[in-house]
Amino acid sequence: MDDEKLRAFFRSLDRSLFVEGGLKPLAPLDRPLPIGFGQTVSQPTLVLDMTAALELDKNCRVLEIGTGSGYQTTFLAEFAGEVFTVERIPELSLQARERLARLGYSNIRFRTGDGSLGWAQYAPYDRIIVTAAAGSVPPRLIAQLKNGGRMLIPVGPPGLQELTLVTKDENGAVGARALYAVTFVELVGDFGWGK
């Protein structure tokens, strides 16, 4: 993935498209913002860093858990081949779908449901990104990661997690290492936080 292209895209993408009304003037600030339903969109530099850590290319099939506003989804759609994104709150999923369609992306499939179970129909995925905090890495997400693939997932209690990079080598051996501390809202669902 070309770092310069990623940075240029980051600078060109207006985050105010992903928040509502009175929050729009705050969009350029490097801080999380509310997106309704008690959820938040991350600070832009974190989205940039997580996108870079995924090492995307146009051959990648990506699974995203936690569509939220669709801001992170836009980076995935821009730099990966196909994006499959799951959100549990129907209103957020619909809103993101409309935003991404308006921006002209046609390589994204949206689903409303429990993403802690992954999305088996289109597995395996070259990349998986979870933008909500899990107590441990949901087993079905590991199962749906392709050999040679990478997954980013915040692991830890509400309030403070370790952004964890999970890798699967060509033989299917799974490794994990913590990258840095992050704060995400909780992943709920069958394999969500506290499960």
Is there binding between residue 151 and ligand SAH (CB under 6 A)? no
Helix (H) or strand (E) holding 22: none
Is there binding between residue 87 and ligand SAH (CB under 6 A)? yes
Is there binding between residue 86 and ligand SAH (CB under 6 A)? yes
Stretch that binds ligand SAH, among 54-62, 113-121, 151-159, 162-170 (CB under 6 A): 113-121
**Binder to ligand SAH among 71, 84, 119, 125 (CB under 6 A)?**
71
- The CA distance from 56 to 43, in Å, is 20
Is there binding between residue 89 and ligand SAH (CB under 6 A)? yes
141: helix, coil or strand? Answer: helix
Question: Catalytic residue at 42?
Answer: yes
Q: Which residues contact 150 (CB under 8 A, 6 or more apart)?
A: 53, 54, 55, 126, 127, 128, 165, 166, 167, 168
Helix (H) or strand (E) holding 105: none
Is there binding between residue 19 and ligand SAH (CB under 6 A)? no
- The CA distance from 23 to 62, in Å, is 29
Q: Which residue among 42, 69, 93, 116 is the active-site one?
A: 42
Q: Which residues bind ligand SAH (CB under 6 A)?
A: 35, 39-41, 65-66, 68-69, 71-72, 86-89, 92, 114-116, 131-132, 185, 187-189, 192
